[in-house]
């Protein structure tokens, strides 16, 4: 009996230059992890960083966190697609580094948007440092 051949989807000749196919089962855990980390980060920032309390601030923090998470997913996907188009011969490590950079940028954006949403606008152009103080 000849040795079993791997399915056509898994042979080197069927793979694209960008690597194995994405989506479906691979995307679901990523989306679940993103959703869980967004809820956790928004709750922790609301409670400990900005010392916001109450149901309204929780709902506002979760809404802002969810919106920035969706924008972050779109930005990282778009950035990676553009990168693969501009540099098709680039290795996977450069794509991973690029996604990490975009995610770091979106983390900063999330923090700034949450700060604005949970502490309100700064008055007279001054930054509200009192809300960021450790107590």
CB atoms within 10 A of CB 74: 11
pLDDT confidence of residue 86: 95
pLDDT at 87 over 90: yes
Closest CA to 100 of 64, 134, 76: 76
Mean pLDDT, residues 83-93 taken together? 93
Model confidence band, residue 12 (pLDDT cutoffs 50, 70, 90): very low
pLDDT at 126 over 50: no
Mean pLDDT, residues 43-70 taken together? 87
């Amino acid at each position: 009996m000849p040795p079993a051949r791997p399915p056509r989807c898994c042979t080197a000749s069927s793979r694209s230059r960008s690597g194995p196919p994405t989506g479906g089962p691979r995307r679901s855990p990523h989306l679940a992890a993103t959703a869980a980390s967004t809820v956790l980060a928004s709750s922790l920032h609301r409670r400990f960083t900005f010392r916001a309390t109450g149901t309204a601030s929780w709902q506002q923090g979760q809404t802002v966190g969810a919106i920035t998470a969706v924008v972050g997913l779109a930005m990282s996907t778009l950035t990676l697609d553009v990168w693969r188009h501009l540099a098709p011969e680039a290795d996977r490590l450069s794509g991973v580094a690029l996604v990490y950079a975009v995610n770091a940028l979106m983390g900063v954006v999330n923090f700034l948007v949450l700060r604005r949403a949970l502490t309100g606008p700064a008055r007279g152009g001054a930054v509200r440092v009192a809300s960021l103080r450790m107590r």
